[in-house]
Each structure stands twice: as C-alpha cells, then as structure tokens.
Amino acid sequence: MNLRQLKHFLAIAEAGSILGAANRLGVAQPSLSRDVKLLETELSARLFRRDGRGVSLTRDGQIFHDAIEPHVAGLDRAKEKFLAKRAGTDGAIRLGWTGTVSIPYGPKIIAAFTRAYPKVEMHARGGSSSQIIDWVANEAIDIGVMNSERRASGSFAENLGRAPLYLVTAPDPKEKGETITFARAAEYPMFVHSPQNALGRIVRAAARERGIGLDIYAEIDDFVAVRPIIAQGVGAAVVPMGLLVGADGLDLAVRRIVDPELWIHFHLAISKSGRRKPAVKLLADAIRREYPET
C-alpha cells in the first residue's frame, strides 16, 4: 500500500461516498475504486459496505481507519512544517471568499492557519463569486474560494466539493417531512439571492426549467440578516446547511429540496502571483483539509 491509497481511503470514509470523495479530490471515481480494491486485497478484508446513500465503513474498515488516520495526518503536518521552515512563512496573504464558505468554515480555517503560521498576516474579504473571480484574475487577492451552480472546468479553479440545498422556513404544520419538492418549495414567498450569486442562479434556473413562477418576497445576498425574519414566519429561502451555522436559537424548519435535488459547488482559485508564494500554498492546503465534502 502507498500513501495515495491511504489518503483516498480516508477521503471516501469522510465523504461517505466515492462520488463525494472524487469531487473533493478532483480524482476520477474509477481511480478511487481501484485503490480501495487494492487495499482490500492486500489486507484481505472488506473495508466498505454500500448502502442506498453511499458507503460506510465495515468493522474492519473502522479499525483500519482508526489505525492509519493519525499517522497520515501527522505526515501532512510534518510536510507543512518542513515547507514552512525551508521557504519561510512571513508576509501577507489576501484571501477572498463567499459567505457560504466563510460563515461555516472561516473561523476554523483562520484559527488553524494563524495558529500554525503566526508570522503570516492574513487579510480576508467577502464578496460574490463573480467578484472573487475578478479579484483573482486581476491579482487583487492571492487566493479565492467561491461557489457555482456547476463543477469547475479548465485550469482556472479546482473543485473543493459540493453541498445540497435546503428550504428554510418557519415551522409549518402542513410540512412534516425531511424533504420537500422544488415545486412545493416555490409556493412559499421567497428571499432569493441576486443573479450575481450562485444561489440566486440555481433557484431561478430550476424554476425556469420547470415553468414555475417564483413568488419573490425580496432579493437578498445576506441570508444571515433575514434568518430572524424567516423564523417569524415571513418568507423562505433556499440555502446550503452551512449558512445555518449560528442559528441554533431560531425556530426554523429545514427540509432538503428534491425533485430535483439542488446542489451548490465550491471552488478554490489562486492568482498567478499567489502561486509563487509558499504561504499561499500552505493556506490552500489548509482550506482543502478543513473544508468537508457534504
């Protein structure tokens, strides 16, 4: 077995599916499946069981996972420390990201990175995905994390992962299930993100493709600001689960949208000048490591 196979095994275990791990790593599914089969052959043990929603660890798989995970993580940390010592990690990094990333994952990413590299001065700014793409292209920032309605293609950005979308409303006694169809969701007056925001484009495209008229209560890009209003029974919104971080005190109903399922994709891009900065590479690695596939 080799380190690549071990990392692929851990990624599948974390994502709960081979597709999820492939999206996160940017690796073809057959390559991941092949590495798992090679590991299972070498260990003479079945590591994963398939279920209706993906894969889960078998008993032997869990034992193997617990045995290797700290060692693989230790190798990653050793690599980072070596690179930091060899190349130096002083200076400043300019980071741009969307609220769908900074709200759920920003504190963890910033805390982990600044703790490991205290000499790096980080400047983080929020913006829409289109703004971040422009900032990266124009060298206004070194690294950007943005979202889109589709997977990244080409060399500009890499895929970090994707997340399903949910309808968020005040509790509704008529809707008790964990899912809701898009057609039924569209009957609610909605806070819809602007067309410059991937969430706005996703909702509008789904409605257009099905000939459904949206009842737009208001156009917003700051979902956190309207969460209390939604909890009072005014309007609804379509967002990934990450945007509900910090909303524990609000009485909200959250149902996954189906028929069709809606997804938002997350991407990472580094500017040309940023690629020459060792600290930027280290931050990109930290983002990849901290950002979970959901």
Residue 128 confidence (pLDDT) above 80 = yes
The DSSP bridge partners found for residue 216 are: 190
pLDDT (tens digit per residue) in 132-165: 989 998 899 999 999 999 887 666 788 888 889 9
Distance CA 124, CA 114 (A): 12
Round the CA-based radius of gyration of the chain to a whole number and report it. 21
pLDDT for residue 294 is more than 60: no
135 token code pair: 């900032």
Percentage of residues of the chain with pLDDT beyond 90: 44
Residue 251 tokens, joined: 């009485």
Mean pLDDT score, 58-70? 92
What is d(CA 130, CA 119) in angstroms, rounded to the nearest whole number? 31
**The pair of three-digit structure tokens given for residue 214, joined into one six-digit string:** 């949206």
- Residue 58 exposure: Cα atoms within 13 Å on the Cβ side: 10
Q: What is the Cα–Cα distance from 173 to 111, expressed in whole angstroms?
A: 41
Place of tokens 């009072």: 232
Digit-coded pLDDT (tens) for 25-40: 767 788 888 989 999 9
User: CA 1 to CA 42: how far, in whole Å?
Assistant: 7
Give CA–CA dist 278/292, Å, rounded: 23
Give the CB-side neighbour count of residue 54, counting CA atoms within 13 A. Answer: 17
Confidence of residue 180 (pLDDT cuts 50, 70, 90): very high
Packing angle between helix 29-43 and helix 3-15, nearest 10 degrees?
110
All domains of the chain in start order, with CATH: 3-84 (1.10.10.10), 88-160+265-290 (3.40.190.10), 162-263 (3.40.190.290)
Place of tokens 């690549």: 4
Cβ–Cβ under 8 Å, residues 57 and 48:
yes
CB atoms within 10 A of CB 213: 8
Q: Is the pLDDT of residue 113 over 60?
A: yes
Do 36 and 12 touch, CB atoms closer than 8 A?
yes
Here the tokens at position 9 are 């095994």
The Cβ-side half-sphere exposure at 258, using a 13 Å CA radius, reads 6
Is 216's pLDDT higher than 90? yes
